[in-house]
Amino acid sequence: MEILKKRDLILAAVLLLAAVFLLLYNSRRPAAVRAQVTSGSQVVAELDLSKNQELDVDGPNGGHNHLIIGDGKIRCSEADCPDKLCIQQGEKNLEGDTIVCLPNQMAVTILAP
């Protein structure tokens, strides 16, 4: 029984260290100022995240996504895809973040400043 408790403590410590590492890693990534939007394999826009704006993106198969930029962040607010996972991905503003809508073949990539 004592061995099980030691293993539990070791596992908890490892998980805690991993969580702290991920938190520190994400806090060091700079907030970006640009987002690249692709539809299919074509770049359709490069957006400045410092300007509040909206963009409609039409996919190559007729799908549609609506992007909103505000307060230095970008999000997908509307989509006609069946699963709406692109909307659930939330706001993005850190370098390397992405928003992807596979059914509509739309992707947003946050670029380095």
As a three-state string, the secondary structure of the chain is CHHHHHHHHHHHHHHHHHHHHHHHHHHHCCECCEEEEEECCEEEEEEECCCCEEEEEECCCCCEEEEEEECCEEEEEEECCCCCHHHHCCCECECCCEEEECCCCEEEEEECC
Statement: residue 33 has pLDDT above 80: yes
* Confidence tier at 30 by pLDDT (50, 70, 90): low
Q: What percent of the chain has pLDDT over 90?
A: 63
- The fold of the 34-111 domain, in CATH, is mini-chromosome maintenance (MCM) complex, domain 2 (2.60.320)
Q: Tell me: pLDDT of 36 over 80.
A: yes
Is the pTM for the entire model greater than 0.85?
A: no
User: What is the pLDDT confidence band of residue 3, given thresholds at 50, 70 and 90?
Assistant: low
